[in-house]
Amino acid sequence: MLCTQCQFNTATTSDGLCGICVSAAAYAQPTPRPGYASNGNLAYLRSPVTLARASVALLVGVIAADLYSLWAGTVVQGVMDDLMSLDRGVGYGVGYGVGYGAVGQGTDLVREAEHADTLYAVSGWLQTAVLVATCAVFLCWFHRVRVNAEVFEPHIHSKTRGWAVGGWFVPFVNLWVPRRITLDIWDASGDRSVALDRTMTLGGASARATHPLVNGWWTLWVASIFVGRWASVGYWDAEEADEIDAAVSRMMLADVVDIAAAVLAILVVRRLTRMQDTKARPGPVADGVHSA
């Protein structure tokens, strides 16, 4: 007999419910209940709200660090422009007595250059620290929603739950596997008809719905990786004022792309968390539950 709620899995209780629907109904309980067993490991349905809030807060921190880096970059570029102007002035005006007056100005510019370099170095350290913290919390959230998705719909996932963390660290594989896992989580957490269509369709590929938000986030995330590396190589190789000015422009472009990726990441985290919270609670949701 099929489950009276999902009409898909076999009923295992006297109420006519399957084990997955029983676990989903127990989502609001303080103690997590075991759900679908995958490879001998029980999947637990647990609230992702707290981890989502922490991830969003840290992603906002990423945006703030990038904005600080953009400001520091304008300071560096201003000093580089002054240095290039001074070099041109000395080169053209030395025969007319202009070069002597530029000596004192050059000394001031050296101090400004050192200050600008310190600001930019601090922004780099700040970005790295916030990024590491964000990655740690985001991966905890990502793994949790992946396990929850397995409880919701155990049959549509193309990768095991271990890939929810490991897939981000394998070179080249990390360019597409996390996105694929995100799409599986999205389908499992959303409209049940989509998940059932994917389950009943061989391979599930033809039944996958479009995911513009996930695709947009992932495109910007991958772009930020490549643009960031390209900009970093140019920055560390730059020596002359004009080279540094151009390299900082590329670094600022990388910051802008990173900000856009972080904004869409916030939307993905909030949307997926809300979808799972809504799906796990069949009745009215208490105030504040969806604020993640």
3-state secondary structure of 252: helix
pLDDT band, very low/low/confident/very high, at 44 (cuts 50, 70, 90): confident
Residues 6+ apart with CB under 8 A from 69: 120, 123, 124, 126, 127, 251, 252, 255
Q: What is the pLDDT of residues 46-71, one digit of tens each?
A: 999 999 999 999 999 999 999 999 99
Residues 6+ apart with CB under 8 A from 172: none
Q: Where are the domains of the chain?
A: 47-280
Q: What is the pLDDT of residues 151-167, one digit of tens each?
A: 998 888 989 989 999 99
Average confidence score pLDDT of the chain: 81
> Which residue in this structure is represented by tokens 């076999």?
10
> Which residue in this structure is represented by tokens 């921190």?
61
pTM, full prediction: 0.76
Mean pLDDT calculated for residue range 203-227:
83
Q: What is the pLDDT of residues 82-140, one digit of tens each?
A: 888 876 655 444 443 444 444 455 577 778 888 999 999 999 999 999 999 999 999 99
| Phi, then psi, of 266 in degrees rounded to 5 | -60, -45
pLDDT band, very low/low/confident/very high, at 11 (cuts 50, 70, 90): confident
